[in-house]
Amino acid sequence: DPSRILRKNGMCPGDVLILTKPIGTGTLFAAHARLAAKGRWIDAALQSMVVSNQRGAQCLREFGATACTDLTGFGLLGHLVEMTRPSGVDAEIDLDALPLLEGAAETSAAGILSSLQPANVRLRRALRNQAAALKHPNYPLIFDPQTAGGLLASVPAAQVEACVKAL
């Protein structure tokens, strides 16, 4: 049903962003290739990757998601820009609130990043407070390319609590 398709555009002022899966597959698998990742980190990443986005999409639709996309190789910021530009809105990312796969913060802090990450970093121009964001340890993870990532959606603020609980 075309009227039920969740599209990238449609974000509204006051919407809240929701991620349905933690991020960090790019840095974790780069670390795995260097034999610098713990086995439990990779096991947890694989468990996250095999979770289908179907139920998450259904839940987001039920709670009135205004825009939605899946996180893939363009990373969080790349996909967020694909949502904000056509919607004509800006968004704030709370770097402290990013859901991260176990080990992603450690591998990123060690400078172990995906070979695809440099292409994503070009979008840093979209950040208004890049100088401040650069100092945050989670900053590199907004560019981390995801494999089998979750969904990024905007949901009306009045629905967020119930939506997150249902997810």
Cα–Cα distance for residue pair 165/167, rounded to 1 Å: 5
Cβ neighbors of 131 (< 8 A, separation 6 or more) are none
Residue 128 predicted with pLDDT over 90:
no
Torsion of CA 114, 111, 142, 99, to 10 degrees: 100
CB 76 within 8 A of CB 152: yes
Res. 10 pLDDT band, cuts 50 70 90: very high
pLDDT per position as a tens digit, 37-69: 999 999 999 999 999 999 999 999 999 999 999
Residue 130 predicted with pLDDT over 90:
no
CB 61 within 8 A of CB 6: yes
Q: Which amino acid is at 22?
A: P
Res. 1 pLDDT band, cuts 50 70 90: confident
